[in-house]
Amino acid sequence: MNAYETIITRRSTRKFRNREVDEKLTDLIIEAGRHAPSGGNSQSSHFFVITNRELLEKLALMVSEAFRKMEVHEGMYRSLVTSITRSKQGNYIFHYGCPMLIVVANKKDYGNNIADCACALENMMIAANSLDLGTCWINQLKWLNKDEGLLELFKNLGLGEEERIYGALAVGYPDTEDGLPVRTPLPRTGNKVEYIK
Ligand SMILES: Cc1cc2nc3c(=O)[nH]c(=O)nc-3n(C[C@H](O)[C@H](O)[C@H](O)COP(=O)(O)O)c2cc1C
């Protein structure tokens, strides 16, 4: 696949095989994230590459517990409603049981924090597709980036006082018949374009 095909065929993977991601591939993906552009070349994104199964399970429980305490209200973002509803039902694993969760943080008072993290996440998603790995953007840790328990946990993992989480990525070998990511692009019906000549 050339670079263009790798971008166009990237799709979200939400079912993963129970297999650790090869360390060399992990390094390539992380380097792709680290080579993303950043506002003013600030390079202030901070990556947490979590492969520890116990920690992944603990995070899933903490996230589900945090959502269980929330109430759904009118006009709430649909995916957030799903997270809350499924947590209350007791069957919610926000990271889909992926073998590797890459969490991206940045300075909380930096104006490009979300933009820089998004560039890093997109770079990693495309790199993973080129390496036959599946990914899915995971937003729950951003929604919960003021949750005291999660903040404490990530501070113990190296999150700075002045940093917050702005996005995450589930990564792994897709649980498909051929083990490859689904690569049929979803039709784009939104994302309007105006050509001004
Ligand atoms: C900012 C952002 C947040 C997202 N959050 C989640 C999420 O928390 N969980 C999830 O399963 N998918 C999440 N997604 C993936 C989108 O649902 C997905 O990209 C979209 O449905 C299009 O499908 P595709 O990625 O297969 O092209 C997110 C994507 C973006 C860009």
Which of 135, 114, 176 is closest to 28 using CA atoms? 135
Return d(Cα 21, Cα 13) in angstroms, integer.
14
184 lies in a domain? Answer: no
Q: What is the pLDDT of residues 64-118, one digit of tens each?
A: 999 999 999 999 999 999 999 999 999 899 999 999 999 999 999 999 999 999 9
Number of domains in the chain: 1
From 136, 143, 144, 169, mutation site for ligand 1 pocket: most ligand atoms within 8 A of C-beta: 136
What single DSSP character describes residue 39?
G
Average pLDDT over every residue of 50-73? 97
* pTM (global) more than 0.95: yes
Q: Which of 12, 140, 189 to mutate to test the pocket of ligand 1 (most atoms within 8 A of CB)?
A: 12
Which structural domain, as residue segments, surrounds residue 163? 15-52+96-172
Residue 131: CATH number of its domain: 3.40.109.10
